[in-house]
Chain A
């Protein structure tokens, strides 16, 4: 472990990516992912990573390149955000359906229109149906930790599904943080070489990507669904292994911060949990029994574990940076399903914050918690600018 280096997030993530020894990397530039791939480019150009770095003409091709390379049986990496992730979405679903353990970092950014390059989590949330494992990081060091674990989880023969590590754009990759990164030897000990179950091989030819008629397709989806459920225990197992190998905790499915005796629990993904933890501490000092459950593994959705962790709470306050337009927040929708028809039935409120990089302030969080303790909210937007005239809505 190399400790105490002050690194820009993107640099730390690029170094971690290189330590995992991908053989083929392909990416297309999009803000705010660019710094990561630029750092990786330099690492390859300096001969510090033996890999093919393919500068493609678009994200659809970036994902396709890593799909092809993974099919030959090598470890791969790609990275994107927002419009790029949407453009490659067809390939994202394809990779999961083909059971190729591709790993990527999604640098979370809002989606157009209007064009906005700042952070929210809409992009990766949109991909929640795809069959990819999704892990959300709070800080740069955790992004790196989850990246290493993601390769191990994805390549596990009990899983063989792709995995996406999500980190908040600008907030994480662009920020400087003191990180401890493992050495190459430690990574090699933790993450063995990729051992594919099926691959393209002239000595043992296979046909990959056959089409499935109605008599067969449904079973393939059932297989992925069941595998995702089984992956929950693999994710926890790998987190425990990480903890014992590297001497620092990796929480597994979620991190509980002052949750056990809390009557009000906030649920959130990613970096905003940091601010929420500060608010929790402040409210606790004032005698309020508040906590935050930071969800790390969003897909597969850990229904049972969440029920166990939250069934004693009276109020669950979901704060999320996404909205399924015409419906509710995605995380809130999933959380409500956890409790439906069960014995425990806390009041569940959903709030939408921080879209398009809108700042999430301590006051926003306090007001939201207070609001949720008095009435149930469906998908209330927090932090809207009161003085703006909105055509067709209030003016």
Chain B
């Protein structure tokens, strides 16, 4: 039995209703869960993107915590400034700093600023909401767009099969900075996400958490099945969930490998692999990415 009053203590509504995210938006759910884990004593620095646009149209704001949006690629630098100001005024023991943005802001345009922030050791948690394209501007390809995915700037056509490169591995880039905590989570596993955010915030220093979030519009999926698709990405091995704390790796094991077709076939962005032409070679390439992840992270329970 959970009483409403008790549950409100869990900070369920720090991202208020009335935001204009698409129905079933994975990112809006993840952002709500992040704040639920973080609580009121945080300052959030947000990059330009869906999350910023659907939550902060003047004069309506969905944010119940102090929140600032500056530009697209400087989130980590602004967060570093917020952290420095809190530090010099002795507030850093009470207030935690979160910098957040989408995969476009993280993997591409903001990567330099992230690197600087991680390298300098700021006490900031960076969260990447990975929906695998520039969704806010209309579904364009980012460095995090997966192999063969359709986006408006990597469309399949007469001489193309969609995105021609695998995902940029930003968690590994973060790890290369020698920071105390890096984690990969999924909105399909909300309690694991919650645990990882709480864990990250309990650590002083720079942290990186990446959250896989389906975008019904950009992926062409049923909004009701946002959580299902997020889980399928994990269960195929395409999106391994893991955390590295002070160099020690722990991965979320999957009970049984699900073939990648199960994940890909109902997403419009991969539909061109299931048409009249035989794309089994391409699907096999995607399967091998999943197999390599399973091998590398020891995902299958033996």
Within 8 A of A (CB), among B37-80: 40-43, 45, 52-53, 56-59, 61, 63-71, 73-74, 76-80
How long is the Cα–Cα vector from A213 to B53 in the complex, in angstroms? Answer: 11
A210 to B53, CA, bound (A): 8
The listed residue (A52, A73, A210, A211) touching B84 by CB distance below 8 A is: A52
Contacts of B84 in A (CB 8 A): 24, 26, 52, 54, 65, 68-69
Q: In whole angstroms, how far apart are the Cα atoms of A63 and B261 in the complex?
A: 47
Chain A hits for B85, CB < 8 A: 23-24, 52, 68-74
Q: How far is the CB of B70 from chain A (nearest CB, A)?
A: 6
Distance of A94 Cα from B65 Cα, bound (Å): 22
Q: Which of A60, A68, A211 is within 8 Å of B68, CB to CB?
A: A68
User: Do the beta carbons of A64 and B61 come within 8 Å of each other?
Assistant: no
Q: Which of A23, A54, A202, A213 is in CB contact (< 8 Å) with B80?
A: A54
Pair A65/B63 contact, Cβ less than 8 Å? no
Q: Given A72-B86, A200-B43, are A64 and B71 neighbors across the interface (CB < 8 Å)? A: yes
Asked whether, in the complex, the Cβ of A208 is within 8 Å of the Cβ of B69, the reply is yes
Bound: A26/B119 CA distance, A: 15
Asked if B77 and A56 sit within 8 Å, CB to CB, the answer is yes
Say how far A109's CB is from chain B's closest CB, in angstroms: 23
Contact residues of A: prevailing secondary structure? mixed
- Tell me whether A65 and B94 are in contact (CB under 8 A): no
Residue B115 at the chain A interface, CB threshold 8 Å: yes
Give the residues in chain A near B95, CB-CB below 8 Å: 202
Given contacts A24-B88, A26-B81, A200-B68, contact A57 B74 (CB under 8 A): no
Closest to B60 in A: A210
Asked if residues B94 and A209 are in contact (CB atoms below 8 Å), the reply is no
B65: which A residues are within 8 A, CB to CB? 202, 205
**Cβ–Cβ contact B74 & A91, under 8 A:** yes
Separation of A54 and B119 alpha carbons in the complex (Å): 12
Judged by a CB distance under 8 angstroms, whether B225 is at the interface is: no
Q: How far is the CA of A386 from the CA of B33 in the complex (A)?
A: 70
Which residues of chain A come closer than 8 Å to B94, judged between CB atoms? 202
Contact of A216 among B45, B58, B119 (CB under 8 A): B58
Q: Which partner residue on chain A sits nearest B62 by CB separation?
A: A207
Instruction: Name the residue among A55, A65, A74, A202 with the largest chain B CB count within 10 angstroms.
Output: A65
A residues near B74, Cβ cutoff 8 Å: 60-61, 64, 67, 91
B79 partner residues in chain A, CB cutoff 8 A? 68
A68 to B85, CA, bound (A): 8
> Which residues of A sit under 8 angstroms from B82, Cβ to Cβ?
68-69, 71-72, 200
Q: In the complex, how many residue pairs between chain A and chain B have their CB atoms under 8 Å apart?
A: 153
CA distance A94 to B74 in the complex (A): 11
Q: Are B81 and A207 in contact (CB under 8 A)?
A: no
Is B87 interfacial (CB 8 A cutoff)?
yes
**Interface size of B as a range:** 35 or more
For A74, give the chain B residue with the smallest CB separation: B85
Q: How many residues of A contact B (CB 8 A)?
A: 43
Q: Are B80 and A65 interface neighbours, CB within 8 A?
A: yes
For chain A, residues 17 to 42, give those with C-beta under 8 angstroms from any C-beta of chain B: 23-24, 26
The verdict on B289 contacting chain A, using a C-beta distance below 8 Å, is no
Complex: chain A residue closest to B122, CB-CB = A54
- Residues of B77-107 at the interface with A, using a CB-CB cut-off of 8 Å, are 77-89, 94-95
The one of B41, B43, B61, B116 that contacts A56, using a Cβ cutoff of 8 Å: B116
Q: Is the CB of B77 within 8 A of A211?
A: no
Residues on B with C-beta less than 8 A from A76 are: 81
B residues near A57, Cβ cutoff 8 Å: 112-113, 115-116, 119
| Shortest CB distance B184–A (Å) | 25
Give complex CA distance A213, B57 in Å. Answer: 8
Residue-wise interface mask of A (181-204) relative to B, using a CB-CB cutoff of 8 A (1 in contact, 0 not): 000000000000000000011100
Partner of A205, one of B67, B80, B83: B67
Contact A67 B81 (CB under 8 A): yes
Name the B residues within 8 Å of A62 (CB-CB): 77
Quick check: is A51 within 8 A (CB to CB) of the other chain?
A: yes
A152 to B245, CA, bound (A): 46
Given known pairs A61-B77, A202-B95, A205-B66, the reply for A68 and B116 (CB within 8 Å) is no
Does B120 touch A at the CB level, under 8 Å? yes
Pair B78/A211 contact, Cβ less than 8 Å:
no
Residues A58 and B120 in contact, CB atoms below 8 Å apart = no
Partner of A202, one of B41, B56, B59, B83: B41
Contacts of A237 in B (CB 8 A): none
B88: A residues at CB distance < 8 A: 23-24, 50-52, 74
A286 at interface, CB cutoff 8 A: no
Q: Which one, B59, B70, B112, contacts A209 given CB within 8 A? A: B70
Given contacts A68-B82, A208-B67, 17 further A-B contacts (CB under 8 A): A60-B113, A64-B113, A66-B81, A68-B84, A71-B81, A71-B85, A73-B85, A91-B70, A91-B71, A200-B66, A202-B94, A202-B95, A205-B66, A206-B67, A210-B61, A211-B57, A212-B58
CB<8 Å pairs between A and B, sample of 23: A24-B88, A52-B84, A52-B87, A54-B80, A55-B120, A56-B80, A57-B115, A58-B113, A60-B77, A61-B116, A64-B74, A64-B81, A65-B78, A68-B68, A70-B81, A72-B89, A73-B85, A200-B66, A200-B68, A205-B65, A207-B56, A207-B61, A211-B58
Residues of B that sit less than 8 Å from A by CB: 40-43, 45, 52-53, 56-59, 61, 63-71, 73-74, 76-89, 94-95, 112-113, 115-116, 119-120
Nearest 6 CB-CB pairs, A to B? A68-B81, A57-B116, A64-B77, A209-B69, A61-B77, A72-B85
